Structure 1
Amino acid sequence: MIPTGAEEVHLHAGGHDFTVRVYPAAHPDGTALVWLHGGAFMFGDLDMPEADGTSHHLAQHGTTVVSVDYTLAPVDALTSIPLPPPQDGMPDPAELVKALGSDRPRAAYPAASLQAVAAFDWAAQHATTWGGSPDAIAIGGASAGGNLAAGAALRLRDRGGIAPSASCLVYPVLHPVLPEPDAELAGLLADLDPALDMSPEATAAIATNYLGGAAPTEAYAFPAGHDPRGVAPTLIVNAEIDRLRASGQAYAAELAAAGVDVELTREIGAEHGYLNGLDHPARLRTLARMSRFIHEHAAAARA
């Protein structure tokens, strides 16, 4: 069900139809964000808290949000991913995989990556409808969505023309093989419930599944390790107790070395996916950081 006040628009890119849901700002201040949810490239939708809750909150603080229901990757490869054991009160992950089936069109890279760019272009075309400017639209995402946002920022840089005014990446995955955690992070992960940790084997299988035969060195698929000069100013927010934190930290260092305006922070005590917890204390702090970053760089773009 479409939330009250929002509207959905159907688009086509990457060989597939997809949908964007627009959350108009309650009191528009001219800012806009194209937002991509996470879910290991295979899961998630516009109604999950990471998508809907984030969009609602930012819309209440002046920013119109275009949330993207991109084409998800196939689920067939899940059979090769080590699944966590069943937890009390939660469905058996193996049974969940079986239930997913393939009742919706799915496609590997580059479908979702191209759709992220198409969604940004659509937002730029309609920016004045929200009192904004095509030159002051941010792009962002969480986890796999952070990957898609970072890849889209590279595509838009290389294409030329209108590009994002800012990027907001929350606990993103930016490497096909995650960097090794340092001793401090390794210690935190050692104490983490295995059901909440994404093992190196699982993250590698997820990346291979998403690539669908494309080379892991493809810059738009996994932006880390490539030249990021000229991309939009970037905010990276990591969860402290999260194996993906090493990816966000490494990419932030690459951005800084390339002269990109980058802000890196981590939410102490938080685990991966905390934007899905509407009552999680880190959630509101992260959304406030995103709102500030979006507004600061929209103002700079319009100056």
Structure 2
Amino acid sequence: MQLDLVDPELHRAVRRMPRLPVRGKVGRRIVRAVVRRGGIGKPAAGVTITDVDEGQRIRLYTPAGGGSGAALLWVHGGGYLIDGIAQDDALCSTTARELDIVVVSADYRLAPEHPFPAALDDTFTAWQWLQASAGKLGIDPERVALGGSSAGAGLAACLVQRLHDAGGTQPLAQWLLAPMLDDRTAARRELDPAQHLVWNNAANRTGWGAYLGGLPAAWIGVGDIDLFTDECRAYADRLREAGVDCAFDLVPGAPHGFEG
């Protein structure tokens, strides 16, 4: 993708952004190590940053005076592959100060070592911890928003749906920055040549493939006069597009259940 499509104000930052080597194990280790050392920008002054260990890392950003009683549960990005709780220190602390709220940043286990639903389970655990700790933190449990960026925003959106289905106290709002929502985007090979800046579709396939764990090889057989012919063919095509080894066997003149 050409740099002239980027807003001039962002040129310098985009030029400095390296292509993330997330497709290989060694590359992921290097990126994770770099991200753990620090984030983008400096934390905002006047905000207390503390870490809590509840079987996973939870980082609190508390404004001077303790805040207004509202809170944000934040989930970092990283394509489900990169450890980044520190990368958002500046964003989370500035949000806490400017909005006078407590921000709770949730860490989560990473793919491919921990595929779905590990990351979602961890964000759910962070939500439960926040709700249980609301009194101690000076938070109204019914004034909590969910937010995140990229894969973190996708996790936040997914968590909202999970909480809706589970019932109980619900998030007050969603704040989603460029959410990574749909794994089907990764299967759209026509998007590859665009080489989107910062995160392209090749990286997207790596992230989704790692998070969803990949699928085993498949054989699909169906008759050509079966009600399900078209959807079976479409599913086989989608599996192949996603890099799954798939054989599709179309049997002429065979209705549904003919193999019986």
TM over 0.5: yes
Map of 1:80-119 to 2, 5 A cutoff? 106-119=113-126
Does 1:5 find its partner at 2:48? yes
In the TM superposition, what whole-angstrom CA distance separates every residue of 1:135-168 from its partner, at most 9, and x where no partner exists? 1111110000001101111111111101211111
Change (3 A) 1:176 1:57: same
- Secondary structure, counterpart of 1:24 in structure 2: strand
Whether contact under 8 Å (2:79, 2:150) holds in the other structure is: yes
Residue aligning to 2:111: 73
Residue 113 of structure 1: how far off its partner (Å): 0.3
Residue aligning to 2:90: 53
Residue aligning to 2:201: 200
Which of 69, 88, 97 lines up with 1:30 in the alignment? 69
Q: Which has the higher contact order (CA 8 A, sep 6+)?
A: 1
For structure 1, the residue ranges without an aligned partner over 5 or more in a row are 12-16, 75-105, 216-303
Whether contact under 8 Å (2:148, 2:176) holds in the other structure is: yes
- Percent of aligned pairs sharing the same letter: 33
Residue 203 of structure 1: how far off its partner (Å): 1.6
Whether contact under 8 Å (1:120, 1:139) holds in the other structure is: no
Residue aligning to 2:150: 143
Residue 5 of structure 1: how far off its partner (Å): 2.4
Change (3 A) 1:197 1:47: closer
For 2:136 and 2:215, locate their aligned partners in 1 and report how far apart those are by CA, in whole Å. 38
Does 1:211 find its partner at 2:196? no
Residue 214 of structure 1: how far off its partner (Å): 7.4
Residue aligning to 2:184: 177
Residue 58 of structure 1: how far off its partner (Å): 1.4
Give RMSD over aligned pairs: 2.8
For structure 2, the residue ranges without an aligned partner over 5 or more in a row are 1-36, 217-260
- Secondary structure, counterpart of 1:109 in structure 2: coil
Change (3 A) 1:66 1:214: farther
Change (3 A) 1:23 1:151: same
Q: When the two structures are aligned, how many residues end up with a matched partner? A: 168
Structure showing greater Rg: 2
- TM-score, L = length of structure 2: 0.58
Instruction: Extract structure 1 runs of 4+ deviating beyond 6 A.
Output: 1-4
In the TM superposition, what whole-angstrom CA distance separates every residue of 1:162-189 from its partner, at most 9, and x where no partner exists? 12111111011110022999xxxx9xx9
For 2:138 and 2:206, locate their aligned partners in 1 and report how far apart those are by CA, in whole Å. 43
| Matching residue's letter, 1:59 | A
